[in-house]
Chains A and B, each alone.
Chain A
């Protein structure tokens, strides 16, 4: 029954490895996003004047839009990185775990 399969998966060292790798990667990316974003929000809240600083003398580029645009791009690139690794490396590991656990029951 499926609950045997669950037990076998849980006991499998490969499963522990998958959980460890994926959690580490997901939390690393999440903390990056949270850290940068809330750092930015705190700057907006406590040092608002910083946002309209020009990047260079006479430039029309100011810090606010440049930082926000960089966050849009960076955060999207991070999602792409996660999807690539999860849909290849993690999913292969996952398939291997499932195959082993289901076969072990026969």
Chain B
């Protein structure tokens, strides 16, 4: 561990500096000056968040003593139970965008929010039926272990890492910008301080504690999120005598769209968008590197299946909680002048549309509950960012460094050192881009991340597990075509071409690329593979037999904590 000493020291310094900064900011803060933008310093929120940070730092210290081998670092030694992993997956999957964005969407347009939620959910049963046990049986540290199983290691891993890193970067930027805005609003901290704080804490968790610490951060955060959401929902529903009918009657009477909140709105603007969105969210989930990585942290296929059962249970439950929160907010927040700028009901919400869940917490539980939910939101961002950074760092160290550059000859300590450097690099990139994109609308970035995951990572992954005929050439062609098509379509769509680049009209009429880019990727994989008559292609097809047996039975699968 000696080579890491300076890293550990840096990490500790970063943590100390961060806590000092937080404390110092708390001491300076007088009454809020920029009340419209930055909110008054929220002491409840800061105290509760510091408790969370202290607790997770303790866990990180404990985890760092148990993180010795590469397997420990990437997959917590494969010793996580199905229940723990289920909670951690739920924690990874339910970002701040889920809590804040979907509550806000239900508040603004009713049923649309609920339709989004079922789209976000429906990938999970399919991941279980078609992928979970094969992922566990074939993979070791990253999903490229599976796509490169019988194909050309160097080329396929390079492509998988480019796909992973692209997804991770867009997702990270979206989380960072969201984090900065949110923390500015909720905690009354400066945008830059907030972004640096998130980046620094993330580096400490990942570098010191690896997957074990990251997993526990996810678990704790998932519990906080479930508890906080449930509490707000129950308190809000109690105002309607826990009657859904009463709630709907009053909400549809009060909402400016009236009864229309119960029919689909924006989603039906055109069927193409609806189907494309559904495809992207569903299959994008099955191609997110930080989610796929979680399947390698459990003992065996049995626990992998249980993980999905628990994760999908928590996710489904929480989506329903959010739907009720959004509906309750139509009355409790939407009718209360206290939450609108200038006290004008129906005007601009204080802090913007994403603050609905926070206002609701304040309305039903006062400053204490608001503080708790704000701390939950901060913890949520931190947990998701850590998971992403770990997935990105693994793509760099395990795939690019160890398998592509060193061709499998890297020593384990060097590989781990590279992954720690990669985490620092990713952290710096994330903080830098987060600050750079402060004023930009980054809403399209999460959609883009899902679109790329569905169009590049997912087609190659599923074909490599199910189709004997997939060859290296086919996988490369399909994967790159999917990646570039998804990026190009998003760049040409309204959300970038018009909103960011300032052109008058979009070149591509839809915001969601998946309906076009995903089938194209599958088609290219197929056509290039079947026309590939090289000798290597024949060998690759032949190797499918052994891979298939291992995928089905788990014989030869990377064992738990055997390293």
On whether the two chains bind one another, the answer is yes
| Given contacts A6-B555, A68-B118, A71-B118, A15 and B274 within 8 Å (CB-CB) | no
| Given contacts A44-B264, A51-B262, A60-B245, A94 and B308 within 8 Å (CB-CB) | no
Contacts of A87 in B (CB 8 A): 302, 305-306
Contacts of B526 in A (CB 8 A): none
Contacts of A101 in B (CB 8 A): 555
A72 touches which one: B302, B316, B552 (CB < 8 A)?
B316
> Is the pair A52, B259 in contact by a Cβ cutoff of 8 Å?
yes
> Is the pair A65, B122 in contact by a Cβ cutoff of 8 Å?
no
CA distance A78 to B130 in the complex (A): 13
CA distance A98 to B149 in the complex (A): 21
Chain B, 113-152, CB within 8 A of any chain A CB = 114-115, 117-119, 121-122, 124-126, 128-130, 133
Contacts of A30 in B (CB 8 A): 125-126, 129-130
CA distance A32 to B118 in the complex (A): 15
- Helix, strand, loop or mixed for chain A's interface? helix
Q: Encode contact with B along A17-61: 1 for CB under 8 Å, 0 otherwise.
A: 011001000110110011001101110111011011000000111
CA distance A80 to B129 in the complex (A): 11
Q: Tell me the nearest residue of chain B to A101, going by C-beta.
A: B555
| Given contacts A6-B555, A98-B555, A82 and B271 within 8 Å (CB-CB) | no
> Is the pair A79, B115 in contact by a Cβ cutoff of 8 Å?
no
- Shortest C-beta distance, A73 to chain B (Å), equals 8
CA distance A29 to B111 in the complex (A): 27
| Given contacts A51-B262, A94-B554, A68 and B245 within 8 Å (CB-CB) | no
CA distance A30 to B319 in the complex (A): 21
> Is the pair B549, A10 in contact by a Cβ cutoff of 8 Å?
yes
A9 touches which one: B267, B282, B555 (CB < 8 A)?
B555
| Given contacts A6-B545, A71-B118, A51 and B111 within 8 Å (CB-CB) | yes
> Is the pair B245, A48 in contact by a Cβ cutoff of 8 Å?
no
> Is the pair B121, A75 in contact by a Cβ cutoff of 8 Å?
yes
CA distance A104 to B334 in the complex (A): 71
> Is the pair B278, A38 in contact by a Cβ cutoff of 8 Å?
yes
Contacts of A15 in B (CB 8 A): 549, 552-553
> Is the pair A48, B268 in contact by a Cβ cutoff of 8 Å?
yes
- Shortest C-beta distance, B199 to chain A (Å), equals 36
> Is the pair A72, B320 in contact by a Cβ cutoff of 8 Å?
yes
> Is the pair A72, B319 in contact by a Cβ cutoff of 8 Å?
yes
> Is the pair B128, A82 in contact by a Cβ cutoff of 8 Å?
yes
- Shortest C-beta distance, B218 to chain A (Å), equals 20
- Shortest C-beta distance, A36 to chain B (Å), equals 9
Flag whether B563 is at the interface (Cβ < 8 A): no
> Is the pair B130, A83 in contact by a Cβ cutoff of 8 Å?
no
> Is the pair B111, A64 in contact by a Cβ cutoff of 8 Å?
yes
> Is the pair A62, B122 in contact by a Cβ cutoff of 8 Å?
no
CA distance A101 to B128 in the complex (A): 27
> Is the pair B262, A65 in contact by a Cβ cutoff of 8 Å?
yes
Contacts of A49 in B (CB 8 A): 263
- Shortest C-beta distance, B175 to chain A (Å), equals 26
Known A61-B244, A73-B316; further 5 A-B contacts with Cβ < 8 A = A10-B549, A15-B552, A45-B268, A45-B271, A72-B320
- The 6 A-B pairs at the shortest CB distance, nearest first, are namely A45-B271, A60-B245, A52-B263, A52-B262, A60-B248, A45-B274
30 contacts between A and B (CB under 8 A): A2-B556, A6-B545, A6-B550, A10-B549, A18-B552, A30-B125, A30-B130, A48-B264, A51-B111, A51-B263, A59-B245, A60-B245, A60-B246, A61-B248, A64-B262, A64-B263, A65-B111, A65-B114, A68-B115, A71-B118, A73-B316, A75-B121, A75-B312, A76-B312, A79-B125, A82-B129, A82-B305, A86-B133, A87-B302, A94-B552
